[in-house]
Structure 1
Amino acid sequence: MSVVLKRVYEDPSPDDGYRVLVDRLWPRGVRKDE
């Protein structure tokens, strides 16, 4: 199993797999259902 770090503002790519947001605050301008 590999772990890849990405910025929340980057568009998802087909090879992302399962994405988890790890942060204290939800980023501005990003909806929680995306």
Structure 2
Amino acid sequence: MQLRVKPKRPLGPTPVKQLPALQAPYDTPLAKAP
């Protein structure tokens, strides 16, 4: 049970924080270019 709880915690906040962080820098240059 401990192994299932540990992999679920890091996988949740990791992808969620990385997605918005990568989209923010990409949307900024794209919106300013045009």
TM-score of the pair, normalised by structure 2: 0.14
Between 1 and 2, higher relative CO (CA 8 Å, sep ≥ 6) is seen in: 1
TM-score of the pair, normalised by structure 1: 0.14
User: Whose helix proportion is higher, 1 or 2?
Assistant: 2
> Which structure would you say has the larger Rg?
2
